[in-house]
Amino acid sequence: MSIRFPTSTTALALALSMGLALAPHSAEAQRGVGVRGEVEQRVRARFGEMVRQRLQLTPEAQEAMSEVLQDFQERREALALREAQLRRRVQGQGRLGRGGSPPPLTDEEAVAILDEMAGLRAEESDLAELEQERLLAVLTPTQLLRYYAMRDQLAETVRRLQAGGPGGGMRRGGGGGLF
């Protein structure tokens, strides 16, 4: 059984970081590096507790879920980094260079960028599908859908806070993914 959702690497990276709420905290968060580290640690702990309660997970199931989520962290971070680099290259084409035109880009370079965009989308989809399969070995389909809903709700809350509060506002650093 494969349940697929359209996603962007950015959203997946955010979801992963939320999923890590179930996993042991990073060494940086454990050291309490700054206010952000403390806030992240509290959010992770609270989200992990909510997931455990709402999904009615046993300690063993919670640990297994944490292991799956941790296994995908490095791959998601690498994919998010590649997407950010590609996004900067694409955005560079919208900036005016000397003489009022974008920096020169050959058709071959443009094709390479378009191919890379398609490749990233495919990798993102493959990674999400593989993670889903692994999570379905631990959770029931209903539990997984509940987890996705909780994760998405938290992601939306984070987006609203980044945008300046409950009503939203201007986001720093651009938003969403390329695709």
pLDDT grade for 110, boundaries at 50, 70 and 90:
confident
Domain membership flag for residue 122 = yes
Residue 56: exposure state from Cβ atoms within 10 A (0-12, 13-18, ≥19): exposed
Domain membership flag for residue 171 = no
Domain membership flag for residue 164 = no
- Distance separating alpha carbons of residues 134 and 40, to the nearest angstrom: 25
In this predicted structure, what is the pLDDT of residue 20? 46
More confident residue, 14 or 83: 83
30 lies in which domain range? 9-90+104-157
| This model's pTM is above 0.75 | no
Residue-wise pLDDT for 32-53, tens only, equals 457 878 888 888 889 989 999 9
> Which whole number is the average pLDDT over 102-118?
86
Domain membership flag for residue 47 = yes
Domain membership flag for residue 150 = yes
Angle at the Cα of 5 from the Cα atoms of 73 and 160, rounded to 5 degrees: 75
Domain membership flag for residue 40 = yes
Domain membership flag for residue 141 = yes
Count of structural domains within the chain: 1
Domain membership flag for residue 169 = no
